[in-house]
Amino acid sequence: MERSNAWDAYPGDRKKEVFEFAEDYRVFLSENKTERECVKTFVEAAKKAGFTSLKKAIKKDQKLKPGDKIYYNHMGKSLAMFVIGEEPVSDGMNILGAHIDSPRLDLKQNPLYEDKDLVLLDTHYYGGVKKYQWVTLPLALHGVVAKKDGTVVEINIGDKPGDPVVGVSDLLIHLAGEQLEKKANKVIEGENLDVLIGNLPIEKKETEKEEKERVKAQILALLKQDYDIEEEDFLSAEIEVVPAGEARDYGLDRSMIMGYGHDDRVCAYPSFEAILQMETPKRTSVCLLVDKEEIGSVGATGMQSRFFENAVAEVLALCGQYTDLALRRALQNSRMLSSDVSAAYDPNYPSVSEKKNVAYFGKGIVFNKYTGSRGKSGSNDANAEYIARLRKIFDKNEVAFQTAELGKVDQGGGGTIAYILANYGMEVIDSGVPVLNMHAPWEIISKVDLYEAYKGYVAFLKEA
């Protein structure tokens, strides 16, 4: 079944609306490279759009009514936003759910060391990565350091104008004979992804004994000077090593964007923008932006925790509707788009895809009826009636969409947060933007697919 190219719906000057939306997203992607940065930016924008903190609403015992806008910031790393609808919350919500974490390198708790006048940071990779892709790139350090006095210091080194960058070195080709004999997953070992950050020794002082690790001492002096942190403060730090530099227009026609973290911020951003369009919906609208998806949605800020269920309970209480049964009904009666990316067809690697059931650039938003792997293991397999409802909504609103699998049946697979929400009995399907280079430091998307996702998410919140 051939789908038309979505660009055809934007002749002449109409392409401007696609490019303008994509440019705002490109700037967002460049400036928000961690889940904490995403939440901070989204909360600031939500407040300007009239959203009120759930915690403040609880303290004031605010009575929620249709049209009220509430957000819940969970530990600064996950975010739930609600626009109260005309129908009771227990009748169900329309939910857009994306994740805002991305594959990266994390600093270990004791990362700093010196070896032969070079200072490095020891890392532990996060999520599914091809480790060899992370060497010889300009990298940046983003995150926070929590000190014992309760202060939290924000770290951003490598992305501000004039900043130095850091990186992971690789073996020169002249001495790489043994290295090149290894399998791709062994060419670069995880324990060798250490980040080089310094070579300048601290100046000697005639009155003091010579230090053994003078370069490390110099780095610690700089950290003390610029951030007022000590080496021991790394014990309570969350610092992520990410590609340095802006997302860029990609292609001679500027039809695409190359950037870090498209998976899954290319779905989180239009999901957020979609809920800003809701005034007083029929059904309560929800935008759910979560952490830890890349490592199985575990932990207190992941989808497997109960933070969203608890937030819904609080919203029900403020609406004067809370009972345990009402909470169960609200979750089971909900409909959700698991806003997550899909693998785009790559002409360089056609053998992993089945061409009738793969996502293509320029064909719009993608529905993945199931993810998982091989015999649909670990998948959420959406029912036919729900897909028919979505087809009707998208066709009515002239949203370009396509359907796909992640790859050939026995090729591999992957997962999203869809199956976790489906555990409540709600209707869920994966729906997002196709991506090339997925999980690489620099991923690629088509601008028109991003825009169609935004249009689709708005239509879903209004009409599902």
pLDDT at 209: 62
Q: Return the CATH number at 171.
A: 2.30.250.10
Choose the final residue of a domain: 243, 271, 287: 243
Please tell me whether residues 167 and 89 are part of one structural domain: no
Q: Return the CATH number at 359.
A: 3.40.630.10
- Does residue 250 sit within a domain? no
Please tell me whether residues 452 and 322 are part of one structural domain: yes
- Does residue 80 sit within a domain? yes
Please tell me whether residues 94 and 147 are part of one structural domain: no
pLDDT, tens digit, for every residue of 129-173?
999 999 999 999 999 999 999 999 999 999 999 999 999 999 999
d(CA 105, CA 125): 4
- Does residue 331 sit within a domain? yes
Please tell me whether residues 232 and 267 are part of one structural domain: no
Structural domains in the chain (count): 2
The domain in which residue 391 lies consists of 6-102+260-463
pLDDT, tens digit, for every residue of 190-239?
999 999 999 999 988 755 666 789 999 999 999 999 999 999 999 999 99
Please tell me whether residues 96 and 215 are part of one structural domain: no
pLDDT at 212: 83
Please tell me whether residues 322 and 421 are part of one structural domain: yes
- Does residue 138 sit within a domain? yes
Please tell me whether residues 54 and 157 are part of one structural domain: no
pLDDT at 91: 97
Please tell me whether residues 380 and 395 are part of one structural domain: yes
- Does residue 253 sit within a domain? no
- Does residue 317 sit within a domain? yes
Please tell me whether residues 306 and 397 are part of one structural domain: yes
Please tell me whether residues 234 and 322 are part of one structural domain: no
Please tell me whether residues 118 and 228 are part of one structural domain: yes
Choose the final residue of a domain: 176, 208, 243: 243
Look at residues 431, 392, 451 and name the one whose alpha carbon lies nearest to residue 95.
431
- Does residue 389 sit within a domain? yes
- Does residue 255 sit within a domain? no
The series of mean pLDDT values per 10 residues for the chain, 464 residues long, is 89 96 98 98 98 96 96 98 97 97 97 97 97 97 96 96 96 95 95 97 72 91 95 97 98 98 96 97 98 94 96 97 97 96 95 91 93 76 92 97 86 83 95 96 98 98 96
pLDDT at 48: 97
Please tell me whether residues 86 and 143 are part of one structural domain: no
Q: pTM value? A: 0.95
Choose the final residue of a domain: 243, 270, 305: 243
